[in-house]
Amino acid sequence: MKLKKFLAIPVFSAFFLMGFVYYITVFIFIEDWVGLQTSAGSLNHLIFSFVASLCLLSFLVGVLTDPGRVPLSYIPDIEHSSFASDQEPRKNVLQSKYCDKCAVYKPPRTHHCRVCKRCILRMDHHCLWINNCVGYWNYKAFFDLVLYATIGSIHSTVIVISCTHQKDWSNSGTTALKILYLACGAMSLALSATLGTLLGWHIYLITRNMTTIEYYEGIRATWLAKKSGLSYRHPFDHGVYRNITLVLGSNTLKWFCPTSTGHLKDGVSFPTLRDNA
C-alpha cells in the first residue's frame, strides 16, 4: 500500500528533477570543468553524490513514513494545561477537540487533513511533492530533505557557474550550448533560492517548536490577545536549544539522519510552558 504513494505525478517530478540535476552536474559540468578523473573532479563528484544520496534517502523516508495516526485508545485529558485553559468550559473543550469527520478526539497539535482524509499528529502541512502529510513521525525526514536538497542545489550552482566562467566561449561556444548553460544556471539558482528560503522558514519554525499551522494560528492569537490588552506566547516554546532537541533529538550528529527518531514519543502529549512553571 505504501508503494502506491509513488504513483503520483509530483513524486515522479521530484524523482526526475533529482536525477536530472545529478546527471548534468556530474556528467556534464564537473566533466567539462575539471574532468571526473582529476582529484578536484573526483572530490566534487564524491561530495555531491554523498549529499544526493542523503537527499534521496530523506525523500524516501518522507514518502513512506506515516506522519502519525491518532491512537484508537486516545482519551483527552481536559485537566491538562495544553488541552484546556482554566476559563474554558469542559464541554466546549471536548467539542473543539473532536473531529466529526474521523469521529475521534484530537490530541494537542493534531489537525485533520482534507487530502489524506484523516487526522495527523502534529501536522505541519500536506506536501504534494512527497504525496504525504508532514507530521509528527516524518517531519525530521522532511526537514533533512530540504536541508540536503538546498546544499546540493548550492553545490550544483557553484559548479555550473565555475564551469561557465572558465570555458573558452570564443572557440567552443555555439548558440545551443550557450542556451543550455544559461538554462541550467538559471534553474540551479532558482532551486537554490527556493529551497534555501524553505529551509530558512523551517529552521525558524524548529527554533520556536512551531508548525506552519501553529504559526498562522499564532498570528490570530496574538491579534486577539492584543485586543484584550494581553500578550501571547506559543505554549510549546521552551527556548531555542530545547526546541531543537525536542524536534530533532539531543544527539547533534543524529540531527542529520532522517531515520533517527528515537527521541520521539507518542505524538499525543507535549511539554508546555505551564508544565515548566
Q: Which residues participate in catalysis according to the annotation?
A: 127
CA 17 – CA 142 distance, rounded (Å): 17
CA 240 – CA 262 distance, rounded (Å): 20
Of 89, 24, 18, 104, nearest in space to 58 by CA: 18
CA 220 – CA 195 distance, rounded (Å): 27
DSSP string, 132-182: EEE-TTTHHHHHHHHHHHHHHHHHHHHHHHHHHHHS-HHHH--HHHHHHHH
CA 127 – CA 141 distance, rounded (Å): 13
Contact, 104 vs 67, CB < 8 A? no
Residue with cell 505525478: 9
Contact, 63 vs 129, CB < 8 A? no
CB atoms under 10 Å from CB of 202, counted, come to 19
